[in-house]
Amino acid sequence: MRARRRPWLLAPGAPLAFPNPRHADADGIVAIGGDLSQERLLLAYESGIFPWYDAGLPPLWWSPDPRAIIDREHLHVSRSLRRELHRSRFSLSFDRAFGRVLRECADRPETGTWILPEMITAYEALHERGQAHSFEVWEGAELAGGLYGVQRAGLFAAESMFHRRDNASKVALVASVVLGFRAGITLYDVQFVTPHLRTMGATSVSRAEYLTRLDAALDRDADLAAVAAPVRHPRELL
């Protein structure tokens, strides 16, 4: 086994390159610094790396071991959530309110947020390129919940979700998983297993297995818009 190395230090505007994520440090940090240009972000996701850092720090680039994913067959929809999906309370949309979802995910004054203003700018730019997407859950005309993430071929990297009504974020997660796999996604990344994500079926795989799955996913075609955009009601997910 190769020894883990210290994270690379990247200057703003440095050449587009990352070290092999298999050499991340014990915490899973691959590199420190650089910028959030569209090209660097896309290269990161294609390399199994993602940015995550707090205000006042330079960008930190991560590839944790183990890595959290949700497989379609492991997605857990509880009886109560299944009943929610059958109800007429919520409706669904795709890429209708990406900026609002992003800002709602960032609006967490009680805990703080890693979705900093420069991240909002960067991910909105990816969305304009068709490489970042949102799933929205509505209660009437009100945005009740949502989820956003980055897509690269058959990879969907879920970044964050929020709710303003009970179960709305769970509905958004189920929509993104079910419709993603219908569209051709083969790797659904959630980065770290949290207690909440575990109840929804998230599991951990080794970094090595994740990177192997990533290579295969990047060779696949997936058209999220064609599959997700026509869906209007959660019952269509069942």
Residue 52 has pLDDT above 60, yes or no: yes
Q: Categorize the per-residue pLDDT at 109 as very low, low, confident or very high, splitting at 50, 70 and 90.
A: low
The mean per-residue pLDDT over the stretch 162-185 comes to: 98
Q: Categorize the per-residue pLDDT at 5 as very low, low, confident or very high, splitting at 50, 70 and 90.
A: confident
pTM, to two decimals? 0.95
Percent of the chain surpassing pLDDT 70: 97
Domains of the chain in start order, with CATH, are 8-64 (3.30.70.3550), 68-237 (3.40.630.70)
- Type of residue numbered 135: F
User: Scanning the structure block, which residue is given the tokens 């929809």?
Assistant: 77
Q: What local confidence, expressed as pLDDT, does residue 1 receive?
A: 45
- Describe the strand order of the beta sheet including 29-33 as a list of residue ranges: 8-10, 29-33, 60-62, 50-51
